[in-house]
Amino acid sequence: MSVSSDFSAVRADFPILGVDLDGRSPAYLDNAATTQKPRQVLDAIHDYYTTANSNVGRSVHTLSMRATERYESARGRVAEFLGAADKDEVVFTRGTTDSINMVAEGFGRQVVGSGDEVLISGMEHHSNLLPWRRLCERVGATLRVVPIDEHGELTPEAFTAQITERTKLIAVAHVSNVQGTVNPVREITAEAHRHGIPVVVDGAQAVAHRPVDVQELGADFYCFSSHKMYGPMGVGVLYGRAELLERMQPINVGGGIVRHVTYDGPNKYYKAPHLFESGTPNIADAVGLAAAIDYLEGIGREQVAAHDLALAERAAAGLRALDGVTVFGAQRPQGGIVSFGVEGLHPYDVGNHLNTYGIAVRTGVHCAVPFIDSLGLTIGTTRASFGVYNTAEEVDLLLEAVSTVEKGFWSNEHPNDRSLA
């Protein structure tokens, strides 16, 4: 697959790509950690603050009604983006981690009890592991981990084999943040639903890189962060099927979620999504997220998927051809992520060296220590992850830089450092 030149105009939308890094310009290949933000998103946030800023749902004045209208239309935009049946199935959160914790504590506690089991995959980010582990510890349930195969992939059969009559919830990443593996979510949800088990999908690494339709996937809950899809920091989404959100309890209570309150009598709560958004929401960034969706869809989600994959394929093939370099994961990349190791070198040394070329990559254990350990990669990997503004020239620069890396401080002094887990 070749890298489309139609994307060359995209770079001009991202002011940060023109920044001077001590004489170099950034080759930003750390998109799985966070993406850069296009002018269109920055402008939408600026426009909100300069023409509509107020609090939502609180007052009758024009600015408050404007803010409410923009916030609620952002919700509608997210619902369309995800193929949700209704905009009230979209809860704004602080991000993926926040969304998953809300489901674990607010919904998990309703359906998982003593002696029950929660199933996750063996490739989860800590944010889709620790909330489930804590839930299990709190209610006396068992966390079961579905093993990955020898290629670091997850098969539907491996999932099915672990389902028992005690399984009450399944949580799985749509796309792995370590290797970019795309998991068979549709098959997993189909099997889970045959047993009446709800499935929570961590979509943090999926939404920016491939079309996602929650109904087609059969996801009962779907979680993602705006900042990984060209939107602002500090806002994210919890999609939940309406009948499941009805069973979910709010973790945070306070203003904005009740119609009527007494000191000791029953309160009259609003329904989803407002029940889960107590306090003043992050209105401007929800508006920014809607602008990011417009931006992605303006390019075309299929086109974005093909572009990111073509860059990953070019990188994986080029890295494999270098002496002493191992590319982890499937033989051909499945998403926009390539994780690799250089023999005898600590990933931090690789990252430091690449930084001297202006190349930004993520190094270390990627908040997925049990997965990294299961692959036998104790010191972690170097991860290049691609987005809409990346080019074939940047991939070639990466290859050139990797081919000249040498042992450095970390390889010699801290061969096992994992302090950034």
List of residues contacting ligand PMP (CB under 6 A): 95-97, 125, 127-128, 173, 177, 202, 204-205, 225, 367
Residue 48: helix, strand or coil by DSSP?
Answer: helix
Q: What angle do CA 129, 134, 137 make, to 5 degrees?
A: 125
d(CA 167, CA 155): 18
> Closest approach of Cβ 173 to ligand PMP, in Å?
5
CB neighbours of 53 closer than 8 A, spacing ≥ 6?
A: 63, 67, 283, 284
Nearer to ligand PMP, 127 or 391 (CB): 127
Shortest Cβ distance from residue 367 to ligand PMP (Å)?
6
- Does an H or E element contain 410, and which? helix 409-413
The distance of closest approach from Cβ of residue 99 to ligand PMP in the complex, given in angstroms and rounded to an integer, is 8
Nearer to ligand PMP, 223 or 405 (CB): 223
Q: Of 207, 310, 367, 401, which one is the catalytic site residue?
A: 367
HEC letters along 266-312:
CCEECCCCHHHCCCCCCHHHHHHHHHHHHHHHHHCHHHHHHHHHHHH
Token couple for 414 = 């801290």
Q: How far does Cα 283 stand from its chain's mean position? A: 20
Nearest residue (CB) to ligand PMP, 66 versus 133:
133
Report CA-CA distances (Å) from 93 to 54, 186, 234.
Answer: 19, 25, 8
Closer residue to ligand PMP (CB): 179 or 205: 205
Q: Is 132 in contact with 104 (CB distance < 8 Å)? A: yes
Orientation angle between helical segments 301-320 and 392-403, nearest 10 degrees: 20
Q: Measured from the CB atom, is 167 or 385 closer to ligand PMP?
A: 385
Assess whether 136 carries a catalytic annotation: no
Q: Least distance from C-beta 182 to ligand PMP, angstroms?
A: 12
For residue 63, the minimal CB distance to ligand PMP (Å) is 30
Catalytic residues: 367
